[in-house]
Amino acid sequence: MSTSRTAPPLRRSVAPLPTRRRPAEKGARGTWLRTVGWRHALVAVALVWALGPILFILFAALNPAGTLSSSSLVPRAASLVNFEELFTDPIRPFWRWYLNTLIIAGVATAGSLFIGACTAYAFTRFRFTGRRPALLFLLLIQMFPALLAFIAIYVTFIKIGEIFPQIGLNTAAGLIIVYLGGSMGSNIWLLKGYFDTVPRELDEAAKIDGASHAQIFFGMILRLAAPILATVATFSFVGFINEFMMAAIFLTDTGHKTLAVGLQATFANNNNEYSGQFAAGSILASLPVVVLYLALQRQIVGGPTAGSVKG
């Protein structure tokens, strides 16, 4: 975690081959096979493994029969009937679940990013008693996710709900608060590592110009740290969308469910019957995450290791 660490490493650009081999050249094919050809072949195998199940979901979603028993890897017919059924199903409000998921994950991401950035700023720019043990403690607390104490959280929120029904069980607000509880432990090290790389001279210059610590933080540090904030936000957002256990404990009313809880309830017990609808729902549920990942691929490649690489 030294101060010389730079931004997440850039992906090396895909350079064109230094010299284009002419097909007429003798042995060129053999060279190609030995240098990169076998790599293409192995990657092709990996792609079959990686994409097979995804194709399966696509075909199942487009399969008009809509049952698992009629699904196969090769599509026989295509239609959007599964999507229509999914959208019009009165007892499974898919778009409601979708909205719930985006709201919960969005608010929790924004909140935890803000709290995390504040915490990291305190650790990177201020020296105070107990700083070092506190940092170690935060590293330790990451190992104990809130879900280990699910019973205590459940019982506590029953009691809270009796007095404040707005944030009790079966509310998005309650679940968001639980998610925010972990925002201090997660990502602090990643954020702090990045903040450390913002030169202190900038702070001092701003201070001389009369900026307060809040102005330095909100006006300067947060802006300079935009790349790492984007990376952390992506990981948090995806994490909250994927979170199942706490959501299943909290959200039991159909109208309050998230996609994870709702689709699980639809599918787990009616494995065969609803597989078309489930596949259609899965594709739509995956879209925001897939788009995020592909858009931020460059940051993500460097992201997970960025905090741990010693520069």
Using CB under 8 A, pick the residue from 93, 106, 168, 227 that binds other proteins: 168
> Pattern of binders to other proteins over 227-256, x per CB under 8 A?
-----------x--xxxxx---x-------
Of 204 and 271, the one with the shorter C-beta distance to other proteins is: 271
- Of 162, 175, 217, nearest in space to 195 by CA: 217
Tell me the number of residues near other proteins by CB under 8 A.
Answer: 117
Instruction: Annotate 248-281 with three-state secondary structure.
Output: HHHCCCHHHCCHHHHHHHHHHCCCCCCHHHHHHH
Residues 23-62 that bind other proteins (CB under 8 A): 35-36, 39-40, 42-43, 46-47, 49-51, 53-54, 56-57
140 binds other proteins (CB under 8 A): yes
Of 35 and 76, the one with the shorter C-beta distance to other proteins is: 35
Q: H/E element holding 191?
A: helix 188-197
Using CB under 8 A, pick the residue from 86, 104, 108, 153 that binds other proteins: 153
> Pattern of binders to other proteins over 101-130, x per CB under 8 A?
--------------xx-xx-xx---x-x--
Q: Residue 224 class from Cβ within 10 Å (0-12 exposed, 13-18 middle, 19+ buried)?
A: middle
Q: Which range binds other proteins by CB under 8 A, 21-29, 82-90, 134-142, 201-209?
A: 134-142
Residues 259-278 that bind other proteins (CB under 8 A): 259-260, 263-264, 267-268, 271-272, 275, 278
Q: Taking the mean position of all CA atoms in its chain, how far away is CA 55?
A: 22
Residues 65-104 that bind other proteins (CB under 8 A): 67-69, 71-73
208 binds other proteins (CB under 8 A): no
- Tokens encoding 2: 């030294």
Residue 241 near residue 288, CB atoms below 8 Å: yes
Using CB under 8 A, pick the residue from 81, 107, 141, 224 that binds other proteins: 141
Calpha distance 264→98 (Å, rounded): 14
162 binds other proteins (CB under 8 A): yes
Residue 61 near residue 83, CB atoms below 8 Å: yes
Using CB under 8 A, pick the residue from 99, 147, 206, 224 that binds other proteins: 147
Of 78 and 305, the one with the shorter C-beta distance to other proteins is: 305
CB 236 to other proteins: min, Å: 14
Residue 281 near residue 87, CB atoms below 8 Å: no
Q: What residues have CB less than 8 Å from 132, skipping those under 6 apart? A: none
Of 232 and 306, the one with the shorter C-beta distance to other proteins is: 306
Task: Give the DSSP per-residue string, 9-25.
Answer: PPPPP-PPPSSPPPTTS
Region of 91 (left: φ > 0; alpha: ψ -120 to 50; beta: rest) is: alpha
